[in-house]
Structure 1
Amino acid sequence: MLRLLVPVNGSEHALDAVRYAAHLFLDRCVSDIVLLNVQGPIEHGRAIAFHSVSALREIGRKQAEAALRKARGILDDAGAHYVTQIEVGPVARTIAQCAAANQCDAIVMGTAGRSLIGTLVAGRLSNRLIRMSAVPVTLVK
């Protein structure tokens, strides 16, 4: 059976991917799910001039936990076997590296937002991830 990596950022589109993964688990197509939230590096942003690195990391951790909360609820309701991870780094590269490190067989992620900007940003992310990943990437609409 398959082990899936599902990146989540708290968006409804990411939760659609989690629901799809839960369905696959219930259909006995998937044995394990890795929920991943990737926080961008904070060292290069402007906030570092006003806050300590530890304070910014704590804010990032809280944002990650909030993004994972609903996803965990969906998988708990399905009785799925899963683990959660929070990583910091460039999003596409971090997702691909996490899939490899966790020996995942595939990545399932939500599609772009409904706005033109959201579509462009998420489209760039999914295209980069497809090029970087050693495993198949499924986009869920």
Structure 2
Amino acid sequence: MKKILVPTDFSDHAFNAVKAAASIARKTNAELLLLHIIELPQEAMDAIKPGHDIPEIMFFKQWAEKRLSETSLSPELNGLNVSQILLLGRTVNKVAEAAADNNVDLIVMGSHGASGFKELFVGSNTEKVVRHSDVPVLVIKNEETEIKMERVVFASDFIVENKASFVNALNFFRTSNVKPHFLMVNTPNNFKPTHVAEKFVADLLKEFDMTEYEFSIYNDLDIEKGILNFSERVNADLIAMGTHGRKGISKFLNGSISEDLVNHSSRSLLTFKI
């Protein structure tokens, strides 16, 4: 891992993400990129002409630059390679732009946990960043600042439409020395016998040359409850899942389940584009 991007609005929850990203950067010798986005209403964006400085925007720009500098000089970041990025625009677009322009390996964001994202990303911005990011997104819950990856539950239906992208998730586990615990949730409406599921997953992972892993099948009333209850049972450090962009969180997670998991889980989450 070479670069970690951390969007921040300078709230306490955003700073928890900064500290968590710093702990990962120390272990991987990665560069930390602090990103702040000055988001304006569309009408204000349309009114801005190239070469013209609006006093109000300049005030926020100077304030943001000062806060970015203060954050980068925090004791928690001592000894790390830290860069600062300040952008003007819509949050979702600019996070993706910053990630692409700087070739980042991971995006780390902060959240309130069960109450959802309220300070760093408001409303649909959260799900859009998670759904559309082409790089993994780590969502830090509550005040968790030291991320462990000893027990990572990767929930999936293992129906992989784009196998090359699935390899990216597995490569992330390998480079991070993670032995994933793969999870398939059985529900009354989508039930697979244990022996069928075990053979299917074993054959699939063998194709990807994945040998160091655990696999479990968990029966529950719905996918979200199954993931949360199983993760609680094994005391998971992290929940990982795949996203299909505009299609939501994987093929097996439909409708609002993706949002519910992000908002309701007390554990941090790691999402991959598949």
TM-score by length of structure 2 reads 0.43
Query: Could you say if the C-alpha distance between residues 102 and 135 of structure 1 is closer, same or farther in structure 2, counting changes exceeding 3 Å?
Result: same
Aligned to 1:44: 43
Choose between structure 1 and 2 for higher RCO, CA contacts under 8 A separated by at least 6 residues.
Answer: 1
Question: Deviation string for 1:64-107 (max 9, x for gaps)?
Answer: 12442442123674311021010001001110111010000110
Equivalent-residue separation in structure 1 for 2:93 and 2:81 (angstroms):
25
Q: Is the 8 A contact 1:40 1:88 kept in 2?
A: yes
**Number of aligned pairs?**
134
Asked if structure 2 preserves the Cα contact closer than 8 Å seen for 1:6 and 1:36, the reply is yes
Give, in angstroms, the shift of residue 42 of structure 1.
5.6
| CA distance 1:62–1:90, change in 2 (3 Å) | same
Structure 1 counterpart of 2:3: 3
Q: Is the 8 A contact 1:37 1:67 kept in 2?
A: no
Quote the residue 1:108 is aligned against: 108
Q: Secondary structure at the match of 1:118?
A: coil
Match of 2:147 in 1: none
The alpha-carbon deviation at position 127 of structure 1 amounts to 0.7
Tell me how far 1:31 sits from its aligned partner: 1.4
Partner of 2:87: 87
Equivalent pairs: percent with the same residue?
27
Partner of 1:33: 32
**What CA distance in whole angstroms lies between the structure 2 residues aligned with 1:74 and 1:24?**
16
Give the superposition deviation at 1:124: 2.6
Gaps of 5+ in 2: 142-274
Q: Which has the larger radius of gyration?
A: 2
For 1:9-24, list aligned pairs within 5 A. Answer: 9-24=9-24
Q: 1:24 to 1:5 in 2, by over 3 A?
A: same
2:134 aligned partner: 134
Letter in 1 for 2:35: L
TM-superposed deviation, 1:53: 4.9
State how far apart, in whole Å, the 1-side matches of 2:77 and 2:37 are. 24
TM-score, with normalisation over the residues of structure 1? 0.79
75 and 104 in structure 1: CA distance in 2 versus 1, 3 angstrom threshold: farther
Inter-partner Cα distance in structure 2 for 1:112 and 1:22: 19
Higher helix share: 1
CA distance in 1 between partners of 2:35 and 2:75 (Å):
13
CA contact (8 A) 1:21 1:108 kept: yes
The whole-number CA distance in structure 2 between the counterparts of 1:93 and 1:43 is 13
Gaps of 5+ in 1: none
Q: Which residue of 1 aligns with 2:54?
A: 54
Q: Distance in 1 between matches of 2:2 and 2:20?
A: 14
Q: Is the 8 A contact 1:112 1:123 kept in 2?
A: no
SS in 2 for 1:63: helix
